[in-house]
Amino acid sequence: MLRLDRWLVTLGVGSRSEMQKLIRKGGVQVDGLPVRDPGQQVNENTAVLTVNGQRLDGRLTRHVMLHKPAGLLTAARDKKQPTVMDLLPDAYAAIGCMPVGRLDKDTTGLLLLTTDGELNHRLLAPGRHVDKTYLAEVDGPLEASHIAAFAAGLHLSDFDAQPAKLEILGPTTGRVTVHEGKFHQVKRMFSAVGREVVKLHRENFGSLTLDSELPEGKWRELTEEELKALYQDAQMEAVR
Ligand code: URA
């Protein structure tokens, strides 16, 4: 339960004083009836919210799969450059739906966003070993020695990358599964074996797989099964 005016502010509809004014003049309906008391307690999980005659999605919890295109920063906001949040309705940012980890600006593919800060934190925790799988296109032939080098773990300038799995799919195409998520990790691992990544695309994040029906730049909310599996990845009991 929460105050009606606070709910509207949290959803990014407007400021506290604007919402109080709007509510007092009858612009907000709850379950089909005008409520004129800004302090009215409402159940944000069940109440049907209508603002200025428009039905509003009042959920404060959202979990999103985005097919990230190249050219956008993975950040909640940036002063100069467009971010992945520009692809979602404003309400998502207002309620704190945030990317889980980062993909480089030129990387495409699966990006998870959630309002659940604990889920976000746990999925990224170093000890958690949530696998991430990437398709990489590189600038020279891939060889069996690269598979062995990835499997042994690579020594990078500032850290030792844990053993990773490399499958060779084509002369210059590989699928890499890593358990960590360090800055430019996959690019730096290929660099360490003498190959530069020219294209990188994430297919999986933990138990979550990028929906093949989801075009680049599009997003959808997670299904209940996907959510349940992710919460299991994070070793959290209940889906929130
Ligand atoms: N590794 C990288 O180098 N870049 C990414 O975007 C993700 C993993």
Q: Which helix (H) or strand (E) holds 184?
A: none
Q: Does the active-site annotation cover 37?
A: no
Residue 238 has pLDDT above 80, yes or no: no
Residue 237 has pLDDT above 90, yes or no: no
Residue whose CA is closest, atom 2 of ligand 1? Answer: 184
User: Which residues of the chain does CATH 3.30.70.580 include?
Assistant: 63-125+208-233
So what's the pLDDT on residue 34?
94
Place of tokens 């929460």: 2
What residues pair up with 178 in beta bridges, in sequence order?
132
The active-site residue, picked from 31, 104, 106, 160, is 104
Residue list, ligand 1 pocket, CB within 6 Å: 103-104, 107, 184-187, 200
Residue whose CA is closest, atom 3 of ligand 1? Answer: 184
Reported confidence tier of residue 2, pLDDT bands at 50, 70, 90: very high
Residue 126 has pLDDT above 90, yes or no: no
CATH assignment of 63-125+208-233, among 1.10.10.10, 3.40.720.10, 3.30.70.580, 3.40.190.10: 3.30.70.580
User: Which residues of the chain does CATH 3.30.70.1560 include?
Assistant: 131-205
**Which of 171, 174, 204, 211 minimizes the C-alpha distance to 189?**
174
| Strand order through the sheet with 54-56 | 33-34, 28-30, 49-51, 54-56
So what's the pLDDT on residue 86?
97
Angle at 107 between CA 62 and CA 219, to 5 degrees: 30
Q: What is the pLDDT of residues 208-219, one digit of tens each?
A: 999 999 999 999
Residue 1 has pLDDT above 80, yes or no: yes
Residue 66 has pLDDT above 90, yes or no: yes
Residue 120 has pLDDT above 80, yes or no: yes
Q: What is the pLDDT of residues 7-28, one digit of tens each?
A: 999 999 999 999 999 999 999 9
Mean pLDDT confidence for 45-74: 96
CATH superfamily of 2-56: RNA-binding S4 domain (3.10.290.10)
User: What is the CA(144)–ligand 1 centre distance, in A?
Assistant: 22
User: What is the CA(31)–ligand 1 centre distance, in A?
Assistant: 46
- For residues 18 and 62, what is the distance between their CA atoms, to the nearest angstrom? 25
So what's the pLDDT on residue 139?
98
Q: Which atom of ligand 1 is the closest one to the Cα of 132?
A: 8
Q: Which of 105, 106, 107, 189 to mutate to test the pocket of ligand 1 (most atoms within 8 A of CB)?
A: 107
User: What is the CA(190)–ligand 1 centre distance, in A?
Assistant: 11
Counting residues of the chain whose pLDDT is more than 90, the rounded percentage is 92
Q: What is the pLDDT of residues 158-203, one digit of tens each?
A: 889 999 999 999 999 999 999 988 899 999 999 999 999 999 999 9
So what's the pLDDT on residue 146?
98
Q: How many CA atoms lie within 13 A of 182 on its CB side?
A: 13
Residue 148 has pLDDT above 90, yes or no: yes
User: Which residues of the chain does CATH 3.10.290.10 include?
Assistant: 2-56
Q: Which fold has domain 131-205?
A: Alpha-Beta Plaits (3.30.70)
What residues pair up with 170 in beta bridges, in sequence order?
173
- For residues 39 and 29, what is the distance between their CA atoms, to the nearest angstrom? 14
Contact 232, 207 (CB under 8 A): yes
